[in-house]
């Protein structure tokens, strides 16, 4: 028998099944007993009908053939304008490649930066697919742990040590899974390390519309960074277009050219009608403001639901669609607490351990339920954590 690729078999190595709770939630829903689901980073509202109409008109108008490797000229222009304004880096269409979601941009960027065996650093807790995407590019993931006590901002000594001898650093602000927004000092520290150690930076900013506590800032805008940074963006989160699989990478022209060569050999470009829908959406900032505003409101609701809870403490989450909740006073791991919540309360949250070791003893809640259900779910979660911590409720046998 021929042997499959070692590299691809190794993609998921080292991780447990972080999606166990999500699978269970889906199983319960299929059996007619759906939990309140705070597991998935996907909107509870559908894609706005105006965007669907734009896609429909484009497809019916005939834009159903191969549509250009790096993206349509119109979308690349619209994205260049957006990145120039939002990220604060003056770019043109030749600095943009349209990809299959932000995920596609991560894949292209890592492949364009890494040679086999090169190390790329990720900050723990991390978006679950980062290590696997690095491995897919032949790279070796290295972990720099951030601490809950620091609001999940990385600290200099840990990050600098992890970057020793690495080729690339991957950061994400506003952050999934923590909801943290990196401070100005954190961004400057990241830039200093990248320049001194001559690293590529991938700055995953797919939540750049959801920076609620302060205006969004990109490390790409800091002096000396534009030439070594690829900004990853996406229509998925800001426009409720997850299933459209439309994202982009913005970066130095030479690297974008390599990524476009990859696009030729991987996907042969993205669908024209999807790109036309994205271009339409980018011309409607009111849609982005409304969708992102929902999550600003829900951060407030979540904070109110957990206010005063001693055993379920909301972390410094003021961006994206996530809240990391510290449940260590219960004495349970995030995994055991999440299991108890779904089995006994029908509330689904992700164990912090699914995102690395730094979030052990935490659970991540996505703010993707209608306001009243979100409030109910988090109020109940806080009560259960309080009862466990006070010994009023027994932890289930392992």
Kindly list the residues in this chain that would bind ligand PLP in the complex (CB under 6 A).
41, 101-103, 127, 172, 176, 204, 206, 234, 236, 242, 247
Residue 24: in which H helix or E strand, if any?
A: helix 20-30
Q: Is the Cβ of residue 139 or residue 179 nearer to ligand PLP in the bound state?
A: 179
CA distances from 321 to 175, 296, 316 (A): 9, 8, 13
**Separation CA 54–CA 49 (nearest Å):** 9
Tokens of 153: 């901002």
Q: Is the Cβ of residue 218 or residue 236 nearer to ligand PLP in the bound state?
A: 236
Q: Is the Cβ of residue 139 or residue 319 nearer to ligand PLP in the bound state?
A: 319
CB of 364 to ligand PLP, least distance (A): 11
In terms of C-beta density within 10 A (0-12 exposed, 13-18 middle, 19 or more buried), how is residue 258 classed? middle
In 3D, which of 38, 107, 76 has the Cα closest to residue 266?
107
Q: Is the Cβ of residue 176 or residue 354 nearer to ligand PLP in the bound state?
A: 176
| Contacting residues for 172 by C-beta, under 8 A, at least 6 apart | 123, 126, 127, 203, 204, 205, 206, 207
Angle at 222 between CA 238 and CA 253, to 5 degrees: 75
CB of 319 to ligand PLP, least distance (A): 11
Q: Is the Cβ of residue 42 or residue 345 nearer to ligand PLP in the bound state?
A: 42
Indicate the length of the chain as a whole number.
Answer: 398
Cβ-based neighbour number of residue 61 at 10 Å: 11
**Separation CA 319–CA 182 (nearest Å):** 10
Q: Is the Cβ of residue 240 or residue 385 nearer to ligand PLP in the bound state?
A: 240
| Contacting residues for 64 by C-beta, under 8 A, at least 6 apart | 271, 272, 273
Contacts 24+ apart (CB under 8 A), 156-159: 156/189, 156/193, 159/121, 159/123, 159/189, 159/190, 159/193
Q: Is the Cβ of residue 42 or residue 160 nearer to ligand PLP in the bound state?
A: 42
Q: Is the Cβ of residue 112 or residue 311 nearer to ligand PLP in the bound state?
A: 112
Q: Is the Cβ of residue 171 or residue 189 nearer to ligand PLP in the bound state?
A: 171
Q: Is the Cβ of residue 148 or residue 234 nearer to ligand PLP in the bound state?
A: 234
CB of 41 to ligand PLP, least distance (A): 4
CB of 90 to ligand PLP, least distance (A): 24
> Which one-letter DSSP state was computed for residue 157?
H
CB of 182 to ligand PLP, least distance (A): 13
Q: Is the Cβ of residue 182 or residue 388 nearer to ligand PLP in the bound state?
A: 182
CB of 98 to ligand PLP, least distance (A): 12
CB of 274 to ligand PLP, least distance (A): 12
Rounded to the nearest angstrom, the gap between the alpha carbon of residue 391 and the centroid of all alpha carbons in its chain is 36
> Which one-letter DSSP state was computed for residue 329?
G
CB of 126 to ligand PLP, least distance (A): 8
Cβ-based neighbour number of residue 79 at 10 Å: 27
CB of 230 to ligand PLP, least distance (A): 13
Rounded to the nearest angstrom, the gap between the alpha carbon of residue 134 and the centroid of all alpha carbons in its chain is 15
Residue 145: in which H helix or E strand, if any?
A: strand 140-145
CB of 234 to ligand PLP, least distance (A): 3
Structural contact between residues 206 and 233, judged by C-beta atoms closer than 8 angstroms: yes
Angle at 368 between CA 336 and CA 327, to 5 degrees: 30
According to DSSP H, which parts of 170-252 are helical?
Answer: 184-196, 235-238
- Residue nearest ligand PLP by beta-carbon distance: 101
CB of 249 to ligand PLP, least distance (A): 11
């Amino acid at each position: 028998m021929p042997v499959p690729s070692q590299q691809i078999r190794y993609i998921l190595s080292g991780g447990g099944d972080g999606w166990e709770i999500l699978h269970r939630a889906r199983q319960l829903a299929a059996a007619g007993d759906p939990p309140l689901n705070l597991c998935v980073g996907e909107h509870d509202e559908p894609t706005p009908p105006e965007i669907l109409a734009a896609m429909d008109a484009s497809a019916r108008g005939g834009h159903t053939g191969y549509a250009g490797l790096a993206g349509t000229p119109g979308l690349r222009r619209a994205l260049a304008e957006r990145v120039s304004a939002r990220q604060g880096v003056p770019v043109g269409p030749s600095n943009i490649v349209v990809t299959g979601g932000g995920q596609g941009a991560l894949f292209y960027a890592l492949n364009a930066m890494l040679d086999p065996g090169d190390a790329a650093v990720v900050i723990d807790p991390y978006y679950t697919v980062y290590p696997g995407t690095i491995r897919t590019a032949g790279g070796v993931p290295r972990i720099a742990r951030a601490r809950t006590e620091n609001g999940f901002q990385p600290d200099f000594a840990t990050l600098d040590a992890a970057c020793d001898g690495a080729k690339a650093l991957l950061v994400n602000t506003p952050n999934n899974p923590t909801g943290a927004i990196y401070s100005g000092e954190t961004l400057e520290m990241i830039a200093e390390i990248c320049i001194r150690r001559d690293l590529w930076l991938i700055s995953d900013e797919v939540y750049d519309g959801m920076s609620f506590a302060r205006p969004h800032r990109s490390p790409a805008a800091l002096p000396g960074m534009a030439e070594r940074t690829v900004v990853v963006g996406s229509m998925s989160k800001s426009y409720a277009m997850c299933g459209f699989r439309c994202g982009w990478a913005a970066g130095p022209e030479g690297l974008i050219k390599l990524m476009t060569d990859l696009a030729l050999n991987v996907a042969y470009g993205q669908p024209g009608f999807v790109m036309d829908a994205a271009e339409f959406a980018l011309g409607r900032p009111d849609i982005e403001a409304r969708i992102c505003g929902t999550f600003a409101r829900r951060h407030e609701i979540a904070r109110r639901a957990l206010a005063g809870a001693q055993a379920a403490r909301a972390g410094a989450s003021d961006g994206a669609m996530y809240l990391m909740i510290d449940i260590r006073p219960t004495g349970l791991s995030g995994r055991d607490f999440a299991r108890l919540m779904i089995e006994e309360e029908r509330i689904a949250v992700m164990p912090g351990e699914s995102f690395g070791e730094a979030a052990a003893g935490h659970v991540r809640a996505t703010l993707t339920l209608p306001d009243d259900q979100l409030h109910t779910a988090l109020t109940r979660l806080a009560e259960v954590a309080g009862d466990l911590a006070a010994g009023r409720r027994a932890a289930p046998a392992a």
